[in-house]
Amino acid sequence: MSELTDLTLAQAREGLRARRFSSVELTGAYLEAMEAARALNAYVLETPERALAMAEAADARLARGEARPLEGIPLGVKDLFCTEGVRTTACSRILADFVPAYESTVTSQLWADGAVMLGKLNNDEFAMGSSNETSAFGPVVSPWRRSGSDAPLVPGGSSGGSAAAVAARLCLGATATDTGGSIRQPAAFTGTVGIKPTYGRCSRWGIVAFASSLDQAGPIARTVRDSAILLSSMAGLDRRDTTSVDLPVPHFEAAVGRGVAGLTIGIPQEYRVAGMSGEIEDLWQRGAGWLKAAGANVVEVSLPHTKYALPAYYIVAPAEASSNLARYDGVRYGLRVPGRDIVEMYENTRAAGFGREVRRRIMIGTYVLSAGYYDAYYLRAQKLRSLIKRDFDAVYAQGVDAILTPATPSAAFALGEKGAADPVEMYLNDIFTVTVNMAGLPGIAVPAGSDAQGLPLGLQLIGKPFDEETLFAAGQVIEEAAGSFVPPSQWWR
Amino acid sequence: MSVDATTVRRIAHLARIAVSEDEVPHLAGELNAILAFVEQLNQVDVGSVVPMTSVSPTVMRRRADAVTDGGYGDTVVANAPMSEDGFFLVPKVVE
């Protein structure tokens, strides 16, 4: 049944409704593919019984002609989303075998629309990382390899399990989260499509918190259309998240195919960073050319504070993380390591439960928020954030509809290649994506080409607040021109 | 600004993370690398800029001050490493 896993989500939806195959057959094909791909370490928990039960229920509804938008569609869930009765760890030892008594709003909306849960996907611990190497379950191996080499590559991060699973045909789509690029960078590394919607579009309720003013959920999928279908189900007002916006959720799929005729696309000169490879520069120009050929007006724009986004992010995100992660104290859930008194119990628990990168970020966050340093670091970073947002506002006020940039400064790198000596080396991966989180804007990564070693490269489109539709419309133009990107062999089988 | 060994120990204690003596120099190095990286923010004159509090102009939603949830104590303590009679157990904190 391996050909069933080659269908896109939109094709599978059509096949299920036409009763050409059942959800149990489709789900079974995915469960078989997952079992054969354990070498990738994409799933940290497979839930086959639940998947088949959900698939049977979906088949019953399909038979009655009562199909909901995602009826019978098998999906993977990043392990940052709480799933009722199913272990959720954020890929940290500190959550141990935490079993939530509740379901995140985003996943509950997917199940309410008929989707089937295949299992929980690997990610960087607490979503802190750009390579999925900080997971307590070990790294995810990308389904992609450089041509002529079998060196294992990273799938990107933090949603590395989501991206690898979608690229390797281990689910039709996956939930993911993006705090500084964690949907778009792994999507770019794996030849998949990932969209971080506008801050407030998807409820954060039930998603393990990293940096609350930046965190946003979104899908990773194989095509622009598939990502649009998933986002319509994931988005919407939730009164349990005070930052969730009360705006109608558009039928995003309707924007796919709308084209870009008459739109103005901005090319920000500040994204032409020193040392950028010729391949990335060429990819970017090709992308601009495709949009132009499809009728868009392409103009140069300026976002002068771009270079400050990443350093400001590495104040704001750790500061919020140090506050959010204070809850892991060995008392209410997860790991507990005894001590002589309660403070030593906290300290021992947190030393044993958090990995190196998480400890580092909590400590940086604690430092920048500590007495005497708040104004110099956190307040200054929040002021920079206002300037970054103002840059985007000014460009959109000039009539620009969306902004085109590279998604990442390079293609995927090898496991262990980056960040071992200097954490900042790894942080630089998010240089093109982090501005979008700082300004709360929507951004989509679409595969657009390959590097000389055959690895996929992505372009990013940045939109106006709550205008994801333009991103789907423009993203589809790039997708159509660039074609699709599938790992050349299933070497892991 | 850079951190020394004493500061690393102080931050670790504030963050409630046990740090062994042999980890301190390495941690100081890593923290200083990050602090050196964010140093460039000082190039910008931010004097009159209003710090961001929200990415979009939103008004906090309010609801009636009423009990809307609860009544499932067993569920609340279900994941606790140690609990008894619906209470979380911690080491003795009052002498």
Q: Is the distance from CB of A440 to CB of A311 less than 8 angstroms?
A: no
CA distances from A369 to A189, A347, A377, B38 (A): 34, 19, 8, 14
For residue A179, give its domain range: 2-258
Total structural domains within chain B? 1
Instruction: Say if A17 falls within a structural domain.
Output: yes
- On whether residue B17 sits in a domain, the answer given is yes
**Interval A216-253: pLDDT, tens:** 999 999 999 999 999 999 999 999 999 999 999 999 99
Cα–Cα dist A358/A124, whole Å? 10
Place of tokens 């998949």: A192
Q: Is residue B20 part of a domain?
A: yes
Nearest by Cα to A466 from A219, A240, A185, A249: A249
Tokens linked to A205: 């309720």
* Rounded alpha-carbon distances, angstroms, from residue A443 to A8, A23, A331, B31, B35: 22, 32, 38, 30, 28
Does B83 fall in a domain?
no
Q: Is A182 a catalytic residue?
A: yes
Size (chain A), residues: 493
Nearest by CB to residue B60, choosing from A242, A379, A381, is A242
Quick: pLDDT tens for A367-411. 999 989 999 999 999 999 999 999 999 999 999 999 999 999 999
Domain that holds residue B30: 5-39
Within a domain: B73 = no
The reply to whether ipTM tops 0.90 is yes
**Per-residue pLDDT reduced to its tens digit, A24-83:** 999 999 999 999 999 999 999 999 999 999 999 999 999 999 999 999 999 999 999 999
Of the residues A102, A313, A367, the best mutation for testing chain B's interface (the one with the most B CB atoms within 10 Å of its CB) is A367
CB contact under 8 A, B18 and A342: no
Q: What is the pLDDT of residues A120-173, one digit of tens each?
A: 999 999 999 999 999 999 999 999 999 999 999 999 999 999 999 999 999 999
For residue A467, being part of any structural domain is answered with: no
**What is the rounded CA–CA span in Å between residue A176 and residue A163?**
9
Q: Measured between beta carbons, which residues in chain A are less than 8 angstroms from residue B40?
A: 307-308, 311
- B12 or B92, higher pLDDT: B12
User: What CATH number should be reported for the domain holding residue A138?
Assistant: 3.90.1300.10
Report the alpha-carbon distance of residue A316 to residue A212 in Å, rounded: 10
> For chains A and B, what is the number of CB pairs under 8 angstroms?
161
pLDDT band at A90 (very low <50, low <70, confident <90, very high): very high
Q: What is the mean pLDDT of chain A?
A: 97
- Give chain A positions within 8 Å (CB) of B52: 382-383, 385-386, 389
Q: Is the dihedral of CA A261, A264, A269, A275 positive or negative?
A: negative
How many folded domains does chain A comprise?
1
The pLDDT of residue B1 is: 62
Residue A167 lies in a domain: yes
Chain B residues lying within 8 Å of A384, measured CB to CB:
41, 44, 46, 49
Mutation target to probe the B interface, by most B beta carbons within 10 A, among A247, A331, A340 is A331
